[in-house]
Amino acid sequence: MASPTATDAQYVQETVGPILAKAIAEAAMLKPENPINFVGKYLLDDIDKKKAEEEFRLTIERAKEHQVAWKEAMEAQAKREKEEEERRVARVALEAAQREKEAEARAQAEAAQEEED
């Protein structure tokens, strides 16, 4: 097996150094009966903590995506409802105009009929 290089040491220092230093410091402070098991459990607990944090982050991210999708759906529904209401109002106005026109036509016909009589 080759001897560790400066690059190897730097890699270990950057990747596991911080958590390993915390684990060893905690073991030194608490002086557990089995410090190797303590450090191992500390590292495993840290992995579980990081997994939980990542799951939480993903849950929040998904919730935000669902919130955006829900908002977009509500806005689309509101737009459809507004357009439908505008069409209904236009239809009612058109029907009213047609009834008014028909009433005018009847009034003119009645007036013409009265003039003939």
pLDDT digit string (tens) for 45-80? 999 999 999 999 999 999 999 999 999 999 999 999
pLDDT at residue 112 in the model: 82
- pLDDT of res. 117: 67
How would CATH label the architecture of 9-116? Up-down Bundle (1.20)
Average pLDDT over residues 21-46: 96
The domain spans of the chain are: 9-116
Q: What six digits make up the tokens of 115?
A: 């003039």
Global pTM value? 0.51
